[in-house]
Amino acid sequence: MRKGSRRRAAQAFIVIALAVLGVLLPASAASAHASLVRSDPSDGAVLQVSPSTISFTFDETVTLTRKSVQVFDARGNPVPSEATGRDAVVTAALPPQLPQGTYVVVWRVVSADSHPIAGSIRFSVGTPSATVVAPQVVAADPALTRAISITAALNYLCLFLAGGVILFSLWVLDGITVGDKVRDRLTMARWLGACLAVFAAVNAGPMQGAEDLGLGMHGMGDDSALDLSLVGGSVVVLAAQVVGLAVAIFLPRWRTVATIGVIVAVVSPAWVGHSRSDGPEALTLPADVLHLLAGAVWFGGLVSLALTLGPLRARQHDAALVVSRFSTIGAAALGALTLTGVIASWRIVGSWSALVHTGYGRLLLVKIGIVAVVAAVAGFNRWRLVPGVAAAAADPGRRTAALRVHTAVWCEAALLVVVLGVTAFLTNLSPNQQPTPRPPDAARGRAVLTGTTGVTAAVSPGTVGRNTLTVQVQDAAGKPVAGYAAPAVALRSADVDLGEVPVHPTAAGTYTADVVLPEPGTWTVQVSVRLTRFENPVTSVEVQVR
C-alpha cells in the first residue's frame, strides 16, 4: 500500500474510532446529579405515632456511604439507625417508640456520576421541641476541595502536554528529520507530562472517596475512601490514561494505534465528569470530548513547536514546513475550543446578568479575556509571522522570522497555563455573591438549609387570591447565593396541597412564581436547592396569608 493510501486509511480509522467512542462512552456515564424527590416523613412533618423507618427517594440510583443517614434528637444526641439502599430509595430503620420531640435527619449519598449530595430534614413525634440543637456533623473541608481542584488542573495540564506532544511528533513532524536534540526534548516533555498526569490521576481517587464520605484531607488514607463503589469512576479514568499513554509512547511506529491511545487518554476525564448534568448529554458529551482533544492539540502542539523551532532555525525550509502544518491544525483546534467553550460557559452561567454580576461570571470574563489575547497572538502568528518563515525558506538572509514565531509560541503556551489556572478556580466557584433585590415586604419566613446558609420565602401581597411567591437562597449575612439550578419548590397548607410550583430565576439566588392561594392561614413552602456542587438540602419555610 502506498504512503498516501495508508494515510487515508489511518484517517478513516481514526474517524470511525472517534464515532465508536462517541457512541460507547455515554453508556457508562451518568447523565446528572441525583436529586431528592421526596422523603417520608416529609420535612417539617408532625407525627402522632413514632415512625419505624425513614425513607428518601431520589430521581436516580444512589450509593450509600458509611454514614449515609444520621438521626439526632432535639438535644443533638445521635439516635441509632441503620440505612439500606435499593436503586433510588434509601431507607433507615429507627428504634421503636421514639420519645416525643423533634428529630433532625442528615443524609449523604453518592449520585451515579460519583459526586456526593447531602441534605437534612426535620420531623417531630407528638409535640415539637421548643428548641433544637444543631447536630454535630462533619463539615466540608475547604483544603480538600482546593486539593481536588489543583489535582484536576495538574492532570489536565500534563495530559494536554503529553497528548499534544505525541500527536505533534506523529503528524506534524511526519517525514521531517529534526535531529537528536529535538527528539530528546520532545521525549522528555511527553514523559514528564505522562508521569505527572498519572500521578494526579492516582491521587484523584482517594481524594474523591474522602470527599464522598465527608472525611476531609485526613481521610485519604482511610480504607473506606478506596471503596470501588465510590472511586470506580476515578479508577476507570486512571486505567484509560495509563493504557492510552503507554500505547502512544511505546508504539509510535504504529501511528494510528498511537493516535487512538492519545485520544483514549485525553478524553478520559469526560467519561465520569459531572458537566453533562447541566444540559442534554447528546450535546454536552461531544462538546466535552472535542474540547479536551482541541486543548491537547493546541497546548501540547504549542510546547512542541517552541521546543522544535529553535534548533530548526538554521533550516528554514523544514522550519517553514513545521510552522505551516501546525498553524493549520492549531487554527482548527482554536475554533473547536472557542465553540465548545461557549457551549460550556453558557450552560453554566445561563444569563448575561450572571456573567457580569457574579464572582463566577467575572472570573469567567477574565478567562475569556486571556483566551482572547491568546487568540490574538495566534492570529498574529498565523497571518503575519508564519508567511515570514515561509519567505525565509527561500531567502536564507531572513532567519529572524522563525525566532519571532518561537517567541510568540512560548507566549501563547504561557498564557494557556494561566487559563488552566483560572479554570481550576472556576471548577469550585458557583455563580453567586451579587447584590439582588430582597423579597418584597409581605408574608415572609426564613429557614436554615445547611450550616450558615438559609432560604427566605415570601408571598406578596400575602392575601387570599393571586400572589407572587419569591424564594431566595442566602448566606449568613443575608446576601443571595445562587445554586447551579432552580430549586424545587412545593406549597401546601393544612387543608390544601398545591404540589410542586415551577419557579423562574429573576436574579442570582432569587426565584419567583405566580400562585393562587385559596385560603388564609399558615402555608408551608418546601424548598429543595442545590446549594453547592455536591449538596442538595431540603428545608421548609412557613408564611402567613391573610
CATH code assigned at 527: 2.60.40.1930
Cell numbers at 484, concatenated: 447551579
Domain stops at, among 125, 154, 184? 125
Same domain, 306 and 200: yes
Same domain, 404 and 486: no
Same domain, 84 and 212: no
pLDDT at 273: 56
Cell numbers at 520, concatenated: 388564609
Count of domains in the chain?
Answer: 3
Same domain, 358 and 499: no
Domain stops at, among 92, 125, 158? 125
Nearest one of 142, 148, 143, 138 to 66, comparing CA atoms: 138
CATH number at residue 95: 2.60.40.1220
Reported as half-sphere exposure (CB side, CA atoms, 13 A), residue 492 has a value of 13
Residues 6+ apart with CB under 8 A from 483: 430, 473, 509, 529, 530, 531, 532
Q: Is there a domain that residue 25 lies in?
A: no
Same domain, 80 and 229: no
Could you give phi then psi for residue 70, rounded to 5 degrees?
A: -125, 135
Domain that holds residue 40: 36-125
Q: Is there a domain that residue 29 lies in?
A: no
Same domain, 493 and 397: no
Same domain, 57 and 172: no
Could you give phi then psi for residue 398, rounded to 5 degrees?
A: -105, 70
Same domain, 225 and 147: yes
Same domain, 172 and 276: yes
Q: Is there a domain that residue 332 lies in?
A: yes
pLDDT at 348: 66
pLDDT at 531: 59
pLDDT at 447: 65
- Residue 361: Cβ-neighbour burial (10 angstroms; 0-12, 13-18, 19+): buried
- Count of H-run helices and E-run strands, the chain: 11, 18
pLDDT at 32: 43
pLDDT at 134: 67
pLDDT at 28: 34
Same domain, 107 and 197: no
Q: Which helix (H) or strand (E) holds 7?
A: helix 3-24
The 10s digit of each residue's pLDDT in 469-512 is 888 887 766 777 765 567 888 888 877 777 778 887 777 778 88
Q: Is there a domain that residue 101 lies in?
A: yes
Domain stops at, among 125, 156, 190? 125
Whole-number Å distance between alpha carbons of 450 and 452: 6
pLDDT at 23: 34
pLDDT beneath 50, residues of the chain: 1, 3, 5-6, 8-32, 274, 276-277, 431-442
> Distance between terminal CA atoms of the chain?
86
Q: Is there a domain that residue 297 lies in?
A: yes
Q: Is there a domain that residue 461 lies in?
A: yes
pLDDT at 24: 33
The 10s digit of each residue's pLDDT in 292-333 is 899 899 889 888 988 887 777 767 777 778 877 887 887 788
Q: Is there a domain that residue 465 lies in?
A: yes
pLDDT at 78: 93
Nearest one of 258, 294, 299, 296 to 418, comparing CA atoms: 299
Same domain, 306 and 408: yes
Cell numbers at 526, concatenated: 418546601
pLDDT at 50: 95
Q: Is there a domain that residue 63 lies in?
A: yes
Same domain, 177 and 270: yes
